[in-house]
Structure 1
Amino acid sequence: MQLLRPQHWKDYELIDSGDYEKLERFGKYIIRRPEPQAVWRKSLPDKEWEDAADATFKKEKGKTSQDGNDKGVWVQKNGMPDQWFINYQYKEMKLRFRLGLTSFKHVGVFPEQSENWDFIYDTVQSLNVSEPKVLNLFAYTGGASIAAKSAGADVTHVDSVKQVITWSRENMDASDLHDIRWIVEDALKFCRREVKRGKKYNGIILDPPAYGRGPDGEKWILEENIAEIMSLCSQLLEDSNSFLILNLYSMGFSAVIADNLIKDYFPDVKDRTYGELIVPEKSGKNLPLSIYIRFIRK
């Protein structure tokens, strides 16, 4: 089991965490928002948090989004914009993200995923295929999609929320990339159809939420649906010159569960890496944010 930390961010920093909150820098702006994993005490005094934060997320009691996230409002200081851009670079991969203050506390990027972007970039370039086909499921604002595209992949990006697809396009355009295939659809429905069509991909990236809704009201519950989508992915992934990344954000899920899923649906894969994606802070604490598993088939 491995703990992976972001290595190449200049526009992101976790300043402090604790008491179910985190204080982060995105570019030149500092934001304060809830973090259910931060069950320990803050390292910095609350006055420093108040002085530093350009925007603070305030939860609205009893209100949650479809995927269980807290809903609320942002309290912004003068000069704090609703939207801004940050950059991420690894080797020749230069990504640019449009950030925004959403009503469900997210800002449009998960910085801990940069370790996977680096892996995607290196792996796509290493495959013995001229233009590897990469499928990104539950793709959100497309960090993994533009990382794969930057490496020369033919990318299909699937998400059930139209507004999020629009956001992903903005990130693609801002990163000076083009020709990602955008699909607004329930991920399970899309995969079932692709299997029937006999489609194959060199790379599959899955980032399923604990709960979610498809565009036609389809219900996604991680515990109930993860087995089927892994089975479908096992049929969609090429037997060689291929890779897979699975991220799970559901609290209470162990990385061993992810490992068991791969053992079950990809029994030929022996060389795999799994563990947690964490973000270190200045105090020396590490904030765990996701579990992951990934492998390459040569």
Structure 2
Amino acid sequence: MADIQLILPAPWSEYELIDSGDFQKLERFGEFVLARPEPQAIWDRSLSERDWEQRAHSIFRRDRQSPERGDWQTKPDMRDPWFVTFKQGGLNLKFKLALTTFKHVGLFPEQADNWTFIHENVKALSARVSRPRVLNLFAYTGGASLAARQAGADVTHVDAVKPVISWARENMDHSELDNIRWVVEDAVKFVRREVRRGNRYNGIILDPPAYGRGPDGEKWVLEEHLNDLLKSCADLLDRDDFFFIINLYSLGFSSLILENMIRQTFGKVPNTSWGELVMDDKFGKRLPLGVFYRFTSV
């Protein structure tokens, strides 16, 4: 059994976590610095509030009437949208970033190590499979999809939110890629239909939210639906040539829970790694940003 791991992405010139604390994080994306909520940063900031305000080009303020939505207080020199590039491990991707009312900007930098993992595994699988098939569920703006496509995979990108699919398509174009299959649908419905059709995928990537709604109002609750979804994914995953990644960002959801579910659903799998995705700020504070499990046949 593999030991629990902490995964820190390799240094990336276009991103840095500057400081964290008081339920906030101060980050640089390209040329712009943002301050936004982070529920796991329960410690004190290292920099003063004045330092944060001076450094930040934009600060997210929550709406008092909504636990999720808010507005950005932006300085005149802040550009929205803007772009960052990611060049590591053979990958050369370009992402559009934008300030949304849900505090997100269209990119989760802690996923960078998964992008290189996907790229490397698709390349390795290509020695055995002419064009590996990769399924990306809850795929958001497509970082994992782009990594798989740039490595030569046949990629199916599934998300329930149509504007997010449009955003991912823009990222594909800016990264000078093509031919990703876009599916606007509830992930659970799509996977069940693929199982009935007898389809198989060499790679499956899941990044489900804690809560969500499908395009027809389907309700997703992580604790209630994840177990059944994993069982369907086990039916879809190729038996010989495969990789699998799941990420969860949900407070209180232990990587041990995920490890138990994977072992029970998939049985004994090779080349496993599991644990937490983390980021270090410039003052040595280590910020947890989700749990993960991944395994591969290559």
Which interval holds the TM-score relative to the shorter structure?
over 0.9
Alignment of structure 1 residues 104-183 onto 2, 5 Å: 104-127=102-125, 128-183=128-183
Distance of aligned partners of 1:94 and 1:209 in 2 relative to their CA distance in 1, 3 Å threshold: same
Matched, 1:186 2:189: no
**Aligned-residue offset at 1:129:** 1.1
Q: Give the whole-Å Cα distance in 2 for the aligned partners of 1:61 and 1:47.
A: 23
Provide, for residues 235-294 of structure 1, a one-character-per-residue CA deviation record: whole Å limited to 9, x for no partner: 000011100000010110000111111101110314311000001111011110010000
Q: Residue 3 of structure 1 is aligned with which of 3, 6, 19?
A: 6
**Aligned-residue offset at 1:45:** 1.1
Q: What amino acid sits opposite 1:137 in the alignment?
A: L
Q: What amino acid sits opposite 2:90 in the alignment?
A: E
Structure 1 length-normalised TM: 0.97
SS in 2 for 1:158: strand
Q: What amino acid sits opposite 1:240 in the alignment?
A: D
Q: What amino acid sits opposite 1:116 in the alignment?
A: N
SS in 2 for 1:238: coil
Matched, 1:237 2:240: no
> Contact between 1:93 and 1:147, CA under 8 Å: does it hold in 2?
yes
Q: Residue 33 of structure 1 is aligned with which of 36, 41, 47?
A: 36
Alignment of structure 1 residues 15-54 onto 2, 5 Å: 15-54=18-57
What is the RMSD of the two structures over their aligned residues, measured on CA atoms?
0.8
SS in 2 for 1:164: helix
> Contact between 2:195 and 2:236, CA under 8 Å: does it hold in 1?
yes
Matched, 1:288 2:288: yes
Q: Is there any run of 5+ residues in structure 2 with no aligned partner, and where?
A: none
> Contact between 2:270 and 2:297, CA under 8 Å: does it hold in 1?
no
Runs of 4+ residues over 3 Å off in structure 1: none
> Contact between 1:8 and 1:90, CA under 8 Å: does it hold in 2?
no
Q: What amino acid sits opposite 1:73 in the alignment?
A: D
Q: What amino acid sits opposite 1:279 in the alignment?
A: M
Q: What amino acid sits opposite 1:163 in the alignment?
A: P
Q: Give the whole-Å Cα distance in 1 for the aligned partners of 2:8 and 2:69.
A: 28
Q: Give the whole-Å Cα distance in 1 for the aligned partners of 2:103 and 2:219.
A: 22
Q: What amino acid sits opposite 1:101 in the alignment?
A: L
> How many residues of Structure 1 are paired with residues of Structure 2 in the alignment?
293
Provide, for residues 20-75 of structure 1, a one-character-per-residue CA deviation record: whole Å limited to 9, x for no partner: 000000000000000000000001111110100000000001314xxxxx200001
Distance of aligned partners of 1:138 and 1:32 in 2 relative to their CA distance in 1, 3 Å threshold: same
Of stretches 262-271 and 126-135 in structure 1, the one that deviates more from structure 2 is 262-271
> Contact between 1:18 and 1:43, CA under 8 Å: does it hold in 2?
yes
Q: Give the whole-Å Cα distance in 2 for the aligned partners of 1:121 and 1:157.
A: 16
Q: What amino acid sits opposite 1:16 in the alignment?
A: D
Provide, for residues 195-229 of structure 1, a one-character-per-residue CA deviation record: whole Å limited to 9, x for no partner: 00000000000000000000000000000000110
**Aligned-residue offset at 1:82:** 1.8
> Contact between 1:8 and 1:88, CA under 8 Å: does it hold in 2?
no
Q: Give the whole-Å Cα distance in 1 for the aligned partners of 2:143 and 2:278.
A: 17
Q: Give the whole-Å Cα distance in 2 for the aligned partners of 1:8 and 1:171.
A: 22
Provide, for residues 106-147 of structure 1, a one-character-per-residue CA deviation record: whole Å limited to 9, x for no partner: 000000000100100011101121110000000000000000
SS in 2 for 1:61: coil
Q: What amino acid sits opposite 1:265 in the alignment?
A: T
Q: Give the whole-Å Cα distance in 2 for the aligned partners of 1:99 and 1:82.
A: 8
Identical-pair percentage: 55
> Contact between 2:270 and 2:296, CA under 8 Å: does it hold in 1?
no
SS in 2 for 1:256: helix
